[in-house]
Structure 1
Amino acid sequence: MTWALSGCSGTDGGDRPADTRETAKALWQPRPGLAWQWQLDGKVDPSAADVPVYDIDGFENSAADVARLHRDGRKVICYINVGAWEDFRPDKDAFPRSVLGKSNGWAGERWLDIRQISVLRPIMERRFDLCRDKGFDAVEPDLVEGYGNDTGFPLTAHDQLRYNRMIARIAHERGLSVGLKNDLPQIPQLLADFDFAVNEECAQYDECGRLTPFIEAGKAVFHVEYAVPTAAFCPDSRRLKLSSMLKKPELGVWREPC
């Protein structure tokens, strides 16, 4: 599991649709500066933050939870892990052992062999079907940079580009916007395929400027820090037009936005 972005204040929520049915067939395009909440720990608390975008776990939350957020005028992003197997998900038995690699450092998770497209695509399609059927507006596919980690497989940058583009396609085929999670080195190649970005800790590693292509393309960058205080990163976030906040690593309801 990895973490997502937050939103600086300074948005008026103008991207909220009056009626989500009107945009059911149009891809939602979040614009730079939208404030957001990222809660992956447990069921969503819709009263935790008065912001226009919520990013929540696709399995842990129901269609009724999504509908409640929509009634409050919010867009809702579906968190789905596409790069690692998780032993606590209801579809865990759908993954053959041949695609399971090394632990990624999170309890119960193992990297996936993303080269095995024919095996993984139908599993991910079913997961994205779940997001669509629950009424989500977008998907946050997590762990799309396995090629840069010790996965147990000889993954290449080419393998990752192929897989990430497949993930973007299956989201778009279902009318869902899709965000590029981290994977900063491949932004130039993947910018056209993704509708927004989600980034963790670009300020801590002095990399936030690498997300500028998304902003210049009119696409939101949802950014979160865990260890750097807001006073240290918010001025740059505002200048770069990132949607930034400080979160605790467990991604509960607490947030400190810019």
Structure 2
Amino acid sequence: MRIRPRRRVAVRPLRRALSASVALVLLVPAYGCRPELTPPGAPTAWPAAQARHWQWQWQLSGQLDPAVDAHVFLLDPVATTAAQTAELRSRDRRLICQVNVGSVRSDDPDASRFPQVVRGAAGRRPDSRWLDVRSWDALRPVLADRFRLCRGKGFGAVALFDADGYAARTGFALDFDDQLLFNRRLAELARSLSLSPGLVNDVPQLAALAPDFDFAVNEECVRLAQCAKLLPFSDAGKPVFHVEYTGSTDDFCVTTVGYGFASIRKDRTLDASREPCPLP
């Protein structure tokens, strides 16, 4: 009778698996000692009691500086990595994702998903086109994925840029009500994806949209003499994140801090440098 040789047991892989398991067990307490973080995708909370006490940073160019003394960071979701948002969240920073909802650039990663029929005249940004915000069925899937990118990278809020095309020459016959409906739909879409919605500029519609949005972002309300129109947000205990590109903080901070805004001065390049107004 022929005796078959006995199979060798794969000891090394088993030992590696056991070693990995032991290492995992040893690492669990270390993670348990770290401060508890808001999980990615959870909507950012904006306590009304803190509405006048935020410091913020808006950075879209240059090397991201996570050590900036600010509670809130407004960032580009494509350029910002998940590792960077994780570091900021470990510092207990609130993160806002900049989403262009009313325009598309030819170099946007998802540009090909916007049909030509919804692309209009040249937009504010270089090499961009306004979008027909009346075409909700065509725009919603793409914008929803832009929001999901923000959530997946650890942002808890979205700021809607170019949400005021009705006031520009877009190539479409957009009116005030078309824009109002579009912006409200976007706020609802953001909330359905566990994101806190914020409105950028669109000053003429701020009063009508204040109940729909959690915060406002404004550029140059002092230079344009529009700051009083942002009061529907600050009076409701909602943050107003404001920036000026000209003038001195010694001149405009008195006005904006008095209104309850979180104000800074920055260069238009929106790099890491900033001059914040003092807290009240």
TM-score, normalisation: structure 1: 0.89
Are residues 1:32 and 2:52 paired? yes
- Rounded to whole Å, the distance in 2 between the matches of 1:248 and 1:96 is 35
Give per-residue Cα distances to partners, 1:101-146, cap 9 Å, x unaligned: 1112421111111111110011000100111111101001101110
Aligned match of 2:180 in 129, 143, 161? 161
Q: Determine which of 123, 132, 138 is the counterpart of 1:104.
A: 123
- SS of 1:197's equivalent in the other structure is strand
Structure 1 distance, partners of 2:141, 2:114, is 10
Number of the residue aligned with 1:253: 272
Larger Rg: 2
Aligned to 1:239: 258
What amino acid is aligned across from residue 219 of structure 2 in structure 1?
E
Distance 1:71 1:150, change over 3 A: same
Contact 1:179 1:194 in 2 (8 A): yes
Distance 1:229 1:154, change over 3 A: same
Q: 2:90 aligns with which of 71, 74, 86?
A: 71
Distance change in 2, residues 1:22/1:152 (3 Å): closer
Give SS of 1:169's match: helix
Secondary structure of the structure 1 residue equivalent to 2:163: coil
Output aligned runs, 1:2-151, within 5 Å: 19-21=36-38, 25=42, 27-29=44-46, 31-42=51-62, 44-47=64-67, 49-151=68-170
- Is it true that 1:214 corresponds to 2:217 in the alignment? no
Q: Supply the distance in 2 between the matched residues of 1:42 and 1:101 (Cα, whole angstroms).
A: 31
Q: Report the CA distance between 1:87 and its aligned residue.
A: 1.5
Structure 1 unaligned spans of 5+: 1-17
SS of structure 1 residue aligned to 2:243:
strand
Structure 2 stretches lacking a partner, 5+ long: 1-34
Give the aligned partner of residue 197 of structure 1: 216
**SS at the partner of 1:223?**
strand
Q: What's the C-alpha RMSD, in Å, of the aligned pairs?
A: 1.6
3-state SS of the aligned residue for 1:21? coil
Q: CA deviation at 1:228?
A: 2.4
Structure number with greater CO (CA < 8 Å, separation at least 6) is 1
Counterpart-to-counterpart distance in 2, 1:22 and 1:251: 28
Q: Aligned partners of 2:82, 2:144: CA distance in 1, in Å?
A: 18
Q: Return closer, same or farther for 1:110/1:42 CA change in 2, 3 Å cut-off.
A: farther
CA contact (8 A) 2:43 2:196 kept: no
- The one-letter code of the counterpart of 1:163 is F
Provide the C-alpha distance between the structure 2 equivalents of 1:120 and 1:24, rounded to a whole number of angstroms: 22
Contact 2:100 2:161 in 1 (8 A): yes
Number of residue equivalences: 240
1:178 aligned partner, one-letter code? P
Residues 171 and 161 of structure 1: CA distance in aligned 2, closer, same or farther (over 3 Å): same
Is the partner of 2:58 in helix, strand or coil? strand
Structure 2 contact 42–156 (Cα < 8 Å) conserved = no
Deviation at 1:21, TM superposition (A): 3.0
- Check 1:97–1:24 CA distance in 2 against 1; reply closer, same or farther (3 A cut): closer
What letter corresponds to residue 168 of structure 1 in structure 2? A
Q: 1:122 to 1:23 in 2, by over 3 A?
A: closer
Question: Could you tell me how far 1:32 is from its partner in structure 2?
Answer: 3.1
Deviation at 1:26, TM superposition (A): 5.3
Q: Does structure 2 retain, via aligned residues, the 8 Å contact 1:42–1:60?
A: no
The sequence identity of aligned pairs, in percent, is 42
